[in-house]
Amino acid sequence: MTTTWRHLPAPAREIAVTATDAVDAARARDAEAYRPAVERLAAADRAGLVLGGVVRLLLEEGHPDGLDGDDVRQVLERCVRAAAPWWPDVDPHVLLVLLAGALGVYDPGDDDAPPDPAAVARHAPLLVADLLAVTGRPFADYLTAAFGEVARTELHD
């Protein structure tokens, strides 16, 4: 089943379509499809926020009792090992920052600037694809939930 995302406003629809393309390419380990998908994703305003929500939801579902340092290390190692053969530009540090950010524990120090939107776009789909392999549920379910959380947060701010 394919989700059309027609019900979303244009900016959110662009995030949904490009994120889906990027995650699908990551799941297929298709670097030729992944490169243009993540370039489009990097241009989509707030895509990192939405994908961070997806990562958090996936982590919560995959680790209902919470995550400890070993769990984070296992997720990071599994993701890097899965991505490196077909996407050699994978950066473990960026993945770690994305994990920490999704968990709400990332605090950039004076010497550690957060990854730019292009780095987030190149790495978040790798992390999502890896975590989806654990849950087995469709990406669209998590993406829809993440959009809902972003909308709720914006209403309360």
Region 71-89: mean pLDDT is 96
> What's the CA gap between 124 and 12, in Å, rounded?
17
- pLDDT score of 148 more than 80: yes
Region 128-136: mean pLDDT is 93
Region 8-33: mean pLDDT is 93
Region 63-91: mean pLDDT is 94
- pLDDT score of 104 more than 60: yes
> What's the CA gap between 33 and 25, in Å, rounded?
6
pLDDT value at position 1? 45
> What's the CA gap between 69 and 51, in Å, rounded?
22
- pLDDT score of 6 more than 80: no
Instruction: Enter the pTM of the model.
Output: 0.91
